[in-house]
Structure 1
Amino acid sequence: MYRLFAAIDLPPDIAAQVQALCLGLNGARWVQGEQMHLTLRFIGEVDGGIFRDIKEGLATIKAPPFSLQVKGLGFFPPRKPPRVLWAGVTPVEQVSGLRNRIENVLVGMGLEPEGRKYSPHITLARLRDTPLAGLNRFLAGNGLFATPEFAVSEFHLYASELTAKGAFHTRVASYPLR
């Protein structure tokens, strides 16, 4: 079985800027810079035959390259104890358009549609028993965070392995935007 997701990678210099935020918050399990990405679609566990179909199906996607900027911070869920600290991206229209193309290909293959609303973000940390006051101070102190724009010219298919030390992602295919 393969646990899959489609994502956009951050260029190393952008990932380093985002990674520099990752300190000083109690109860945060920070994501390592090399594991940071912008998830387009979590696919889930599939067997080898579906895996090959997905790899081939994603290769049919046509979407133009675009520019992105990492900008702003927040957390999920908004009205319950916080579980995820994230960085946002702008503009979201191009990301959402690419994500919708991926979703259409996957649903066209018979996979279940993703049930929740898509909210483009980069996970910075998983939170556990993080005091809300500390999280609010962190957000206030870093609220103006923004990186320079960067070009997005491809997306990737990743396999994810869950371990006691967290998830580890391996790129299994890349798809140019054109």
Structure 2
Amino acid sequence: MRTFVAVEISNNDVIHSIKKIQNKINIDAKPVDSENLHFTLQFLGEISDDISQKIIDALNTIEFSSFRINLKGIGAFPKPKFPRVIWIGTDEDGGNMLIHLAKKVEKVLEPLGFSPDKPFKPHITIFRIKKKVGDITKELDSQKMTDFGIQEIISFKLKKSELTSSGPIYFDLAEIKAKK
């Protein structure tokens, strides 16, 4: 099964703000469904049922306190002139807290043979772009300072992703909650 560790976006006000931007930005791209909005702390790829239990056991050793992040700013990977993904970022403090949590995930999964393919950069993918759409710098610049609201981070999850012709479907395998 194809898996990843993620922090989900659950605040309805934040989700509504993101939907508004997805409707406002006029490009030929597939918006990410509201229920799939998340920060990927670490992508794990294909794993067996056996290893999934070891991953869950390792993730359950992570201790962290709940924290808040302010979702703001918008950008594109690899760059606005040739976008493949449009994303929303975070404030510096919240972003640093997410980076810290991603490092904890990385540390406990490393002994199981998992390591990230690139450094964690706090972002939520809001569009996936399959076709070449050209330079979208102007569209993004007009939204650069948008504030999408505050998300309380009280847990993270091990998720399974099933790819379908209409997009991915995510399933929760485990939830690790913040210590109060």
TM-score by length of 2: 0.91
1:89 offset after TM fit, Å?
Answer: 1.4
SS in 1 for 2:82: coil
Is residue 30 of structure 2 the alignment partner of residue 39 of structure 1? Answer: no
Aligned equivalents of 2:21 and 2:45: distance in 1?
A: 29
- Structure 1 residue 148: Cα displacement: 2.6
| Count of paired positions | 174
What is residue 9 of structure 1 aligned with on the other side?
8
CA contact (8 A) 1:88 1:122 kept: yes
- Give the match for residue 110 of structure 2: 107
Alignment of 1:1-178 (within 5 A): 2-10=1-9, 11-23=11-23, 24-78=25-79, 81-90=82-91, 91=93, 92-111=95-114, 113-127=115-129, 128-132=131-135, 135-178=136-179
Q: Secondary structure at the match of 1:130?
A: coil
Q: Residues 158 and 169 of structure 1 are in contact (CA less than 8 Å); yes or no, is this contact kept in structure 2?
A: yes
Aligned-pair CA distance for 1:105:
0.8
Unmatched tracts of structure 2, length 5 or more? none
Give yes or no for contact 1:26–1:131 (8 Å, CA) kept in 2: no
Q: What is the rounded CA distance, in whole Å, between the counterparts of 1:110 and 1:5 in structure 2?
A: 14
Contact 1:71 1:88 in 2 (8 A): yes
Deviation for aligned residue 1:121: 0.4
Structure 1 residue 101: Cα displacement: 0.4
Name the CA distance, whole Å, in 2 between partners of 1:79 and 1:129: 11
Deviates more, 1:144-153 or 1:97-106: 144-153
How far does the alpha carbon of each residue in 1:128-170 deviate from its partner, in whole angstroms, 9 at most, with x for none? 21121xx222212212211232321111111001111111111
Mapped to 2, the partners of 1:21 and 1:29 lie a distance apart of 13
The one-character-per-residue Cα deviations of 1:84-105 (angstroms, maximum 9, x if unpaired) are 0000012311000000000011
* Structure 2 residue identity aligned to 1:151: E
Q: Secondary structure at the match of 1:83?
A: strand
Contact kept, 8 Å, 1:66 with 1:153, in 2: the verdict is yes
Contact 2:22 2:31 in 1 (8 A): yes
Aligned Cα root-mean-square deviation (Å): 1.5
Shift of 1:79: 7.8
Q: In terms of mean alpha carbon deviation, does 45-54 or 25-34 score higher?
A: 25-34
**What secondary structure sits across from 1:95 in the alignment?**
helix
Shift of 1:110: 2.5
What is the TM-score normalised by the length of structure 1?
A: 0.92
Superposition deviation, residue 56 in structure 1: 1.4
Task: Report the CA distance shift for 1:140/1:110 in structure 2 as closer, same or farther (over 3 A).
Answer: closer
